Structure 1
Amino acid sequence: MSCYIAFDVETPNRFSDRMSAIGISVIENGVVADSYYSLVNPETHFDYFNVQLTGISAESVRHAPTFPKVWEEIAPLMESGLLVAHNAVFDMGVLRKCLNAYGIAWKSEVPYLCTVQMGKRLLPGMSHKLNVLCEYYGIELDHHKADSDSRACAEILLRYLESGADLRPFIRSCSL
């Protein structure tokens, strides 16, 4: 496969069932070829912790599109390659919950890669936190900002590919 869709979501509260931002970085033919970013109005409350972590508040998203509107824009991107996320169980879970909450039918199963799980096998003995891997590889990061986090995930995947990693054993599937 030559197209990978690295994405990251930020959430408004501890329930992780809505997103307040999404960032997407598209890898085509070994380079980041496209990107997308949007704040998302989650139509729910914000926890203090999440606001402090992401800098996104109810006021920030007051005029932002809701998830169904964002989905109309990103569905073609999300369908164009293999989904990739850093700690993908979290991001895939939020995506699944958003699709379900709004009654949006997509696919019943979606293949994906997790750069945390890949890193544990490819770089044993080190921390696989996003900021640690970015420091290790010299990747710029504005942590907990969806656009920066998705770009960092894409760059980490590219480093793994450049090292000759076989991605096939790392592909998992998420039920939607």
Structure 2
Amino acid sequence: MPLNFTAIDFETANSSPASACSVGLVKVRGGRVVERASWFIQPPVGHDAFLEWNTRIHGIVASDVVGAKGWAEQYRDIVAFADGDVLVAHNARFDMGVIAGGCSATGTELAEHHSLCSLQVARKTYTLDSYRLPMAARAAGYEGFQHHDAAADAEACAAIVVHAAGQHGCDTVEALGAATRVHIAPVRPRTEQPRATAQPRLSNRPMIFAD
């Protein structure tokens, strides 16, 4: 089987996993990028406050998403783009939490997804001082991209997985997961409560500072 997957990256308006304001998607077929997509997302009411901290990170403000589709409409496009692929993300727990959180907050049925974390793959492939996305991507020979731009981050993530697969002699994401002992995990539903106000966090990637 060929090395096929979809790399994905979200940026969020605040610390709520349901506050996705941007998504980047990169489709890989046979180890090569064949399609790219990205767009703004209007976060649902109760999760739509744009915190200064998050805006400083990704540069997106509330006016940027005016007129953008909401999660329920956008999610269908994400599912269609991925077309059943394993979803690859750098710190996949965050990005898969965004998918589950957005679905929960909007009453949208969560599709069946499985994910592979490129952060964990990088840790089993390279010897680095930091495994944040720019450093891991540089180890994979991919650099000079605009970090925290969702489209650019998704492409960097894809580059890491393609390079790591070559390093481990793997021709599928499943084989790469097995070689690095990184579990390809199902995305599970979650309960997301509306937030009238959101408090700042140290990062727009909650709990793990690895992107």
Q: Identify the match of residue 75 of structure 1 among 76, 79, 90.
A: 79
Q: Which structure features the higher share of strand residues? A: 1
Equivalences, count = 175
Q: Identify the match of residue 172 of structure 1 among 163, 185, 192.
A: 185
Normalised to the residue count of structure 2, the TM-score between the two structures is 0.77
Shift of 1:59: 0.7
Shift of 1:174: 2.4
Range that drifts further, 116-125 or 80-89: 116-125
Shift of 1:126: 3.4
How far apart, CA to CA, are the structure 1 residues paired with 2:103 and 2:131?
Answer: 28
* RMSD of equivalent CA atoms: 1.6
User: Is the CA contact (8 Å cut-off) linking 1:17 and 1:97 kept in structure 2?
Assistant: yes
- The one-letter amino acid of 1:86's match is H
Matched, 1:134 2:137: yes
Matched, 1:61 2:65: yes
1:20 is paired with a residue whose SS is: strand
- The one-letter amino acid of 1:110's match is H
Cα deviation 1:35-54 (Å, max 9, x = unaligned): 11001111411000111111
How far apart, CA to CA, are the structure 1 residues paired with 2:90 and 2:66?
Answer: 28
1:127 is paired with a residue whose SS is: coil
Partner in structure 2 of residue 36 of structure 1: 37
